[in-house]
Every structure is written in structure tokens, then in C-alpha cells.
Amino acid sequence: MVACVFCEIAAGRAEASVVHADDAVVAFMDLRPVTPGHLLVVPRGHAAGLGDLAADAGAHVWTVAQWLAGALRRSGLHCDGVNLFLADGEAAGQEVFHVHLHVIPRFGGDGFRIGADFGRPDRAELDRTAAAVRAGLPRA
């Protein structure tokens, strides 16, 4: 079995440039930054995808990301905005199968683009899609 690199970082057994660490998460510099200051926020407990992540751990990941986004804006790094990005599953572009939230400082002309060819479905199609999502919600 191949060890999870993010579990190794969280346990202090693999090298990382750590920005923040607490009992629940570790945040460190991305090895392939989109822009200078690009961070990853990773729960310490292994969760391959969002469905595997406990709700309280997920909330803490997002809380820390929000806090770090503010730090990036105050850091002196070029940061006029911030993207938070999480890929859940291979089809979504996830490459390391341990949940991680990217915190990416943005500025005009930085060259980073998340693009798609967006359609304009009509209201009936949107309503059908909403119904399908509601049908997938867990029952209380």
C-alpha cells in the first residue's frame, strides 16, 4: 500500500513548508503553486473525498481557509483576491486522494483560469435538476 503524502505531512514525517497547524488541520505551501502564496489546507485525519470527511472536520478546513485568505491579503504578497478550490474525485481533477482545499491568491494578469463553456438551461431543466439533487439528499 502506498502511503498518503498528506497523511505523512500531517504526521510530520514528510517535508512541508507549514503555515498553520492545529489538532485538526495542517496548512502548507503547494509544491506546484498557481501563484506565490498558494496554500493547501488538509485535515489531519485521512479522508479520500468529501463523502469521507466528517462535517466538523470539513467546517474547520473551510474556517482555516477563510482565516488564511485574510492573512494572504495582509501578507505583502501580490493578492487582490482569493480563490478557494476543492476537487472531489478524479473527474473533478483531484490528484491526491486526501481531501485538500486550495487557497490561491489572485491578481490581475496572474494567468490562472478556471474555464468552462457555460450553457443557459431553461427554468424547467433547472427545476428537474434541482429535483434530482433533492432526491439524493439523505433523509432525516
Residue 104 lies in a domain: yes
Confidence of residue 138 (pLDDT cuts 50, 70, 90): confident
Residue 101 lies in a domain: yes
Contact in structure between 82 and 112 (CB atoms under 8 Å): no
pTM, two decimals, is: 0.91
Q: 44: which 3 cell numbers? A: 489531519
Q: Quick one: average pLDDT of 62-80?
A: 97
Q: Rounded to 5, what percent of the chain is helix, strand, coil?
A: 30, 20, 50
Q: What are the tens digits of pLDDT across the range 44-58?
A: 999 999 999 999 999
pLDDT at residue 139 greater than cutoff 90: no
> How many domains is the chain built from?
1
Q: Quick one: average pLDDT of 12-41?
A: 97
- If we measure between CA atoms, which residue out of 39, 27, 24 comes closest to residue 72? 39
Residue 139 lies in a domain: no
pLDDT at residue number 116: 79
pLDDT at residue 1 greater than cutoff 60: no
Residue 136 lies in a domain: no
How high is the mean pLDDT of the chain?
Answer: 94
Residue 51 lies in a domain: yes
pLDDT at residue number 2: 64
Does residue 100 have an active-site annotation?
yes
Q: What are the tens digits of pLDDT across the range 72-124?
A: 999 999 999 999 999 999 999 999 999 999 999 999 999 998 877 788 999 99
CB atoms within 10 A of CB 42: 27
3-state secondary structure of 120: coil
Helices and strands of the chain, counted as H and E runs: 3, 5
| Rg of the chain over all Cα atoms, to the nearest angstrom | 17
Residue 52 lies in a domain: yes
Residue 9 lies in a domain: no
* CATH classification at residue 34: 3.30.428.10
Catalytic-labelled residue, pool 38, 98, 100, 102: 100
Q: 35: which 3 cell numbers? A: 501563484
Q: CA angle, corner 134, sides to 132 and 140, nearest 5? A: 145
What residues make up the domain containing 77? Answer: 17-110
Residue 75 lies in a domain: yes
Which residue type sits at 36? Answer: P
